[in-house]
Structures are given as structure tokens and as C-alpha cells.
Amino acid sequence: MREPQQRGPGHVTVHFLHKSLSKFPNQGNNASDSDLVIQIPSDGCMPDSVKVNVPRNTVGVIEQKVEITYQSAHGRKSNVWNATFKPTMVMQQLSTVVQQCTQSTSIDLCNPGPGSYGGGGTCAPDALGDPTAGANSIQGFHFSCAIAGSDNGEDFYAASVTAAWTITQVVDVQDTPPLIAGASGTVGQDTTMEFDYVPQPLPHSGTVTVNVNWNIGPSGNILYYAFNVYAKGPAGVPAQ
């Protein structure tokens, strides 16, 4: 009895030594997290080569060496070909951890959650609310009652990424940094903010610490700053 002949030119298997975080979705019930099987299209089989495309929804895999084999429709297998898999890279805004928030004014807030905060003093406003609270990687708010004097401090924030990711940017998102106001709503000319980050330069894998030095002088009593920290890494792989 003659066996029924299989149709199609066969398939290519890409074997990942470091498994995907989820099973490859193009294989249905036979999905695997280590072997990506790609059916060869009818126009992809040539006399001395085959042409296939890695599915666009292949995510959750880090850059790595892979082993590629070809199997014909009749079950014949090729030798192993070694290659490097390059994942789709994406950008992501990171969250940060407050390492230090200087408590030297009437109200000192670092990375506050959404909501309003009572003044708690005669020189402070009854309530403070920021509609963008939580939207940025870093947010700091300091309100000083020392109108005749000055307050200063240093705030520290840390952002960390997993091994497959790198931190690429620390961006000041204020149009005219920092947002400064005096008691009468005028700009406090003697109120300042400076920042830096370590290590430099970027990109950097691991942890980056952002240091914010600020001073509120006699002509200003409100200082607000905001930064975003960005990282780049493989699609589908958690950054933090």
C-alpha cells in the first residue's frame, strides 16, 4: 500500500536554548516555549535554500544563539545551522523607588500617589492636588513656609531593569524646569533645582540612581519637578 503523500515543502524549526516566557502562539495545540515551528510557504522553497519569516507575534524571547533545522514533507531532516535571534525591541517608561526624600519643608512629597494632600499649617494651602500624579517616573513636590529664609534638600530615586533591558534616558519633562512659585503666585527667582544620574553615560544595564538637589529661597515657596526614565528591551520580556 502506498502511503499518502504529504503536501507542502515542509517546515523549519528554530530551537531556543533560553525558553520563551510564553508558548509560541502560531502552533495551536502543539505550541512550545522552546521550539518555534514555521511552515514553509509554497514559494519559499528554492533549489538550494528555503525562505521563511519569523511570525510578528513571536515575543517573550531574549537575544540568543539558536539552532535551526529544516524538515521536508517526507520527514528528512537537515543538519543544524547556528544563528543569532534578534528580538523586536521596544521602549518603556520605568517606575522608580524613592531612596531618600528630604523632609525639611512644610510638605515634602516624592512620587506621591494620585489625590490631594492637606497643608497641615497656616502658611500652606488647604489642599494640594496634582492631576498628573503617578504619570511620571519621578515626581517631587516641596512647599516651604520659610518665606523669610530658605530650605534645601537632596532627593534620590532608583530605577532598575532586568538583565535583557538597558536604561537609555533620564528626561526632565518640565517645560521650564522646575515649576516654581512665590507666595503671591510670582516666580521665585532664588529657588533652584539641579539633577544628575549615576552611572553615566547611558545606556546602562542594572540600576540608575537619579539625584535631585533643590533649594527654596525667600521669594519662592513651591517647587515641583518631574522626570521620566526610559529603557529598551525585547518585546514580551518584563523590564522590571
Grid cell 533549489 is found at: 47
Alpha-carbon distances of 127 from 46, 118, 139, rounded to whole Å? 72, 4, 18
What pLDDT does residue 174 have? Answer: 73
Residue numbers of the chain with a pLDDT score lower than 70: 1-8, 44, 46-47, 114-134, 146-149, 175-188, 220
Q: Which residues contact 171 (CB under 8 A, 6 or more apart)?
A: 227, 228, 229, 230
What confidence tens digit (pLDDT) does each residue in 64-123 have?
A: 999 999 998 888 899 999 999 999 999 999 999 999 999 988 788 899 876 655 554 555
Omega cis (within 30) before 25: no
DSSP string, 14-62: EEESS--SS--GGGGGG--SSEEEEEPPTTSEETTEE-----TT--S--
DSSP string, 100-116: E----SSEEEESPPSSE
Main-chain phi, psi angles of 103, to 5 degrees: -105, 85
Task: Say if CB 20 and CB 34 are below 8 A apart.
Answer: yes
What pLDDT does residue 183 have? Answer: 52
CA distance 172 to 142: 17
CA distance 116 to 129: 4
CA distance 85 to 20: 12
Task: Say if CB 107 and CB 117 are below 8 A apart.
Answer: yes
Exposure b/e, 49-64, CB count within 10 A at least 16 = b: ebebebeeebbbbbee
* Listed residue (43, 5, 36, 31) closest to 18, CA to CA: 36
Grid cell 539641579 is found at: 194
Q: Collapsing DSSP states into helix, strand and coil, what is residue 198?
A: strand
* Listed residue (17, 58, 18, 22) closest to 37, CA to CA: 58
What pLDDT does residue 129 have? Answer: 53
CA distance 191 to 180: 7
Please name the helix (run of DSSP H) or strand (run of DSSP E) that holds residue 225, with its range, or none: strand 222-234
Tell me the domain boundaries of the chain.
11-87, 92-234
